[in-house]
Amino acid sequence: MNILETLKLAFSAIWAHKLRSFLTLLGMIIGMTAFMVVLSLLQGFNGYVDEKIAGIGSNTFNVQRFNFEDFKDTDTINAAQRRNTELSFAELDFIRQRAQLIEMIGAKAGNTSSAVRNGDQTLQDVGITGAEPVIRDIENLDIAEGRYFTDIENDNAMRVAYIGRDIATNLFPYGGAIGGEISIRGIPYRVIGIQTAKGTVFGFPQDNFVQIPIKTFGENFGGLRRQRAPFFIARPKDGVKTADAVDEVRTLMRIIRKVPAGEKDNFGIVTPDAISGLRDSLFGTISTVILFVPAIALVVGAIVIMNIMLVAVTERTKEIGIRKSLGARQKDILQQFLLESGMLSAIGGLIGLILAIIIGQVITAFVFPTRIPWWSAVIAIGVSAVVGILAGLFPAWKAARLDPIEALRAD
């Protein structure tokens, strides 16, 4: 008996008991839906982080005071705070002049939270950062209106601001943001550019910021020290591997800081890889744990399927006897019941997957980006089929081993 024949047989057996099959599959469906929804949330989050990294420029990297490893525990933080000094513009110039593999490098500072005002309109807790004009090219900023600030504006610490869309809408409800004036800590700034709206991600507004020239930032916010110390963002030249550019910058930093060979860096370099690595180390464990819970529902679903298959074998003892009397081998009967439970379970998996896709769309529309990659959908169906086949093993084995004479005698 060939597989296609057996598949048709399995489907007609499932179809013959539609309601029972559906009730049997509820556990499987709920388990699969829960599993896929959780997975789609995790994937959505990962996708967001990846996109963010790509948005910055997938091959840019940061030079900053601390490394990720420095935050391991309080001892390492304290040690790093003693060893690692704040970055300086002298160091930035040193790298800028000597680096061969870097196309651009620029400094940023902040975030400082502050209220921003225009007339009687006030916005609280706006993130204020300072940046060198070159940051625009390094970060590929998406300017909706106006422009970014220039070197002259930075060198002269002019009071100009590049703002997020939320600031423009809230402080200039009637338009006219470009050329308008906002006031931060009593100091007025002229708005020269607005960034294209990015919306919110994970509840964090992306358009609620003010960027001003880094020199202006230093003068008006109490100096580029401590939390306001600069960090650098570098973009390697085209065709240069990020790792090589990182090595070059690291070497230059060690030279200017006179770090003896063999001693570890007293600064940090953060690459996109390091960011996704950090994400994986943080969320890898959490993912496993939160996927484990719906996985339990899948196991319960499998047990229900095994139970119904045992019932099916008992109910269809006569049929098994008839089939055996007509020449069905043990293998044929085994295959028939295995495929039936596998198909039953795969149908449950498919329904669960469809529900998860619908729920994912709703969540994406209203709350949070979600994503079900095609490979996970394929795996979901595959896993549910395998679960079904495993659950069917014992019942199918029982059916295959039935004595034809006894089986024919059954009602």
| C-beta of 87 vs 333, nearer to another protein | 333
- In the complex, the smallest distance separating the C-beta of residue 308 from another protein, rounded to whole angstroms, is 17
- Verify binding: residue 19, another protein, rule CB under 8 A: no
Size of the site for another protein (CB under 8 A): 22
Contact pick of 5, 69, 247, 280 for another protein (by CB under 8 A): 5
- In the complex, the smallest distance separating the C-beta of residue 273 from another protein, rounded to whole angstroms, is 56
| C-beta of 19 vs 261, nearer to another protein | 19
Site string for another protein, 329-368 (x = CB under 8 A): xxxx------------------------------------
- Verify binding: residue 20, another protein, rule CB under 8 A: no
Site for another protein in 391-410 (CB under 8 A): 404-405, 408
The span from the CA of 145 to the CA of 165, in Å, is 10
Q: Phi and psi dihedrals of 86, rounded to 5?
A: -65, 150
- In the complex, the smallest distance separating the C-beta of residue 404 from another protein, rounded to whole angstroms, is 5
- In the complex, the smallest distance separating the C-beta of residue 340 from another protein, rounded to whole angstroms, is 13
- In the complex, the smallest distance separating the C-beta of residue 408 from another protein, rounded to whole angstroms, is 7
Q: Is omega for the bond preceding 111 within 30 degrees of 0, making it cis?
A: yes
Site for another protein in 274-333 (CB under 8 A): 318-319, 321-332
- In the complex, the smallest distance separating the C-beta of residue 405 from another protein, rounded to whole angstroms, is 5
| C-beta of 105 vs 333, nearer to another protein | 333
The span from the CA of 378 to the CA of 353, in Å, is 10
